[in-house]
Structure 1
Amino acid sequence: MTTLKIDLVSDIACPWCAIGYARLQQALSSLPELKTELEWHAFELNPDKNAPQEPILPALSRKYGRSEEEMRAAQANMMQIAAGLGLNFDNMQQRFTCNTFDAHRLVKWAEATANKGTAMKLALFTAYFGEAKDVSNAKVLANCAEQAGLDKADAQRILASDAFSDTVRADIAKYQQAGISSVPAFIINNRYLISGAQEPAQLAASLQQIADEMA
């Protein structure tokens, strides 16, 4: 069977990206004969490194033009969905906005040096949504690297340098130019786009259809 290359464009600060990945795993578990390769790609919901950090609910309220009560309800719904997928979103309403550029650098480093990009990404999701930690903070990021099974001191050296910055910038520019304006976005074999955190059954059907067309 044809191997599907899945380029997953996402941001650590995007709850639907964590949900989308978990749903992808469920979809793939229902397609045991389907071979896939996954690569994470960077997207920044908050690209301004100098922007002040804000509590998430008023920030989202202003961004989407909805009341804080509406945003709280929407977040509570996501927490329920996440719990059903085994994700830790326990403190997602206590988090603050933050820039994720350095976090993306660590994902690139983790993948390039130890094939642990996914482990790094999942550790970051847990830190941000489960523990409301500041995933722009170097100490938090180094601890996430350790949680992902990587060397903490090596992670600290990467963060203190400019390593993988060009890789992340190129990633962000590439998918902006390709018209990706919301995440998660699943790009299959550079030909097919699946947008959003679709339900596992729907995602599985789409992947199977693509595999059949590629066969």
Structure 2
Amino acid sequence: MPHKAGKKGILMTVPSLTIDIVSDVMCPWCYIGKRRLEAALLDVSQEMDVEVRWRPYQLDPTLPKEGKDRQQYLEDKFGGAEGADQAYAAVRAAGADEQIPFAFDKIPVSANTLDAHRVIRWAGSEGLAAQDKMVETLFKAYFEEGKNIGDDAVLVEAAQQVGLEPAVIERLLSGDADRDTVNAEIDQARQMGVTGVPCFIIDMKYALVGAQPAEALADALRKVVIEKAKQEAEASETPEA
């Protein structure tokens, strides 16, 4: 269990948690959820160590590799331009609260994100910090810069920004490396009952669905820590058979 320096430099043992975030990088609420989680983790940083892992999900796996005209896609999904505007009003407001400069008008196509999830997986092989940076880079590329994150050239460029070798990523994207693995993870999430994202799975036991406020996420983490401590205390008190 990790330690942190307390008052007067005394080392204190702090609890550890894991958060698996089931997410799709074409989901604006997932970007908002990332910002809110970051605020929550800052709030509890002196109380616990939290390891964050990103897990794949596809809101629409039927999209072609080249994507689909975004305006048409949204109108089809929400029953016209007016319905699409209404649906995104709450997203814009929440994004403004989190200082996310959503630029939906710049996005040319709704992207198929399977290959983006493969790149996120490969970034994870360099460590969780690299994986998190990859997710952040793709969110920015899509929602702020209007890039097609289903396009290989865009993915290679994003991977290079994170420190991955572009030639290697280009070669991997040209084949089927980890395609089945990513699809299997997505299927597993659905089998676990995940039907909406973001979904925050704490210690593989407790799930919070949706872009929860930072306060709610921090409160949930604290409750899990208390529950774990209680369970560990009860286990230590159980007499051996």
Q: Within 5 A, what are the aligned runs for 1:190-201?
A: 190-201=204-215
SS of match in other structure, 1:132 = coil
Quote the residue 1:14 is aligned against: 27
1:81 paired to 2:94: yes
| Ranges in structure 2 where 5+ consecutive residues have no aligned partner | 1-13, 230-241
Q: Which has the larger radius of gyration?
A: 2
- Check conservation: 1:88, 1:126, Cα contact below 8 A: no
Q: Within 5 A, what are the aligned runs for 1:65-214?
A: 65=79, 67-89=80-102, 91-95=103-107, 96-115=109-128, 116-214=130-228
Q: Within 5 A, what are the aligned runs for 1:38-77?
A: 38-50=52-64, 53-65=67-79, 67-77=80-90
Quote the residue 2:37 is aligned against: 24
Q: Tell me: higher relative CO, structure 1 or 2? Use CA pairs within 8 A at least 6 residues apart.
A: 1
SS of match in other structure, 1:113 = coil
| Ranges in structure 1 where 5+ consecutive residues have no aligned partner | none
- Check conservation: 1:11, 1:44, Cα contact below 8 A: yes
Runs of 4+ in 1 over 6 A off after TM superposition: none
* CA displacement, residues 122-141 of structure 1 (integer Å, 9 cap, x when unaligned): 11101110111111110011
- Distance (whole Å) between structure 2 residues aligned to residue 34 and residue 25 of structure 1: 14
Tell me which moved more, 199-208 or 54-63: 54-63
* Aligned residues: CA RMSD: 1.9
The verdict on how the C-alpha distance between 1:53 and 1:108 changes in structure 2, with shifts beyond 3 A counting, is closer
- Check conservation: 2:78, 2:87, Cα contact below 8 A: no
| TM-score, with length taken from structure 2 | 0.81
- Distance (whole Å) between structure 2 residues aligned to residue 148 and residue 81 of structure 1: 27
Q: Note the C-alpha offset of 1:73.
A: 4.2
Total equivalences in the alignment: 213
Amino acid at match of 2:91: M
- Distance (whole Å) between structure 2 residues aligned to residue 56 and residue 29 of structure 1: 35
Q: Note the C-alpha offset of 1:64.
A: 3.5
Amino acid at match of 2:216: Q
Q: Note the C-alpha offset of 1:108.
A: 0.3
